[in-house]
């Protein structure tokens, strides 16, 4: 399995079907099933992009909001002591709790990420 280069925020996974001699792709992390296929590696990206455009057009025709793979928000549950400790550390660094967590997770992944407006507030 191989991952495609993202397009408009969507990603896809591709597998080779040796029986059919075709590459099959499926858009990741959607409830809707969006697939595509290509006869060659050179055609993969364009077929993926075409599948996304078809999906967006279909949603528009139906008056539906297209599903996005991730919103950038998730709920994190942790015990009260850990919550208190990260709130104290983030305040010491004069960052919001959200910005501090984004920095720590980004560092753990080996890079830095944009935090947008999250640095302005010190509210936990």
Spans of all domains in the chain: 2-62, 80-119
Per-residue pLDDT of the chain (124 residues; tens, 9 = 90+): 677 889 998 999 999 999 999 999 999 988 889 999 999 999 999 999 999 999 999 999 999 999 987 767 788 899 999 999 999 999 999 999 999 999 999 999 887 554 443 333 334 4
Rg (CA), the chain: 20
Nearest residue to 17 via CA among 45, 37, 42: 37
**How many Cα atoms sit within 13 Å of 5 on the Cβ side?**
8
Return the pLDDT at 63.
95
């Amino acid at each position: 399995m191989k991952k495609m280069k993202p397009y408009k925020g969507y990603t896809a996974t591709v597998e080779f079907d040796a029986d059919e001699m075709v590459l099959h792709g499926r858009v990741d992390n959607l409830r809707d099933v969006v697939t595509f296929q290509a006869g060659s590696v050179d055609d993969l990206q364009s077929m993926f992009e075409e599948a996304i455009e078809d999906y967006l057009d279909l949603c528009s025709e139906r008056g539906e909001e297209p599903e996005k793979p991730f919103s950038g928000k998730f709920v994190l549950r942790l015990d009260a002591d850990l919550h208190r400790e990260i709130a104290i550390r983030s305040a010491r660094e004069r960052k919001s709790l959200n910005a501090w967590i984004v920095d720590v997770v980004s560092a753990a992944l080996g890079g830095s990420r944009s935090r947008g407006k999250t640095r302005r507030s010190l509210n936990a």
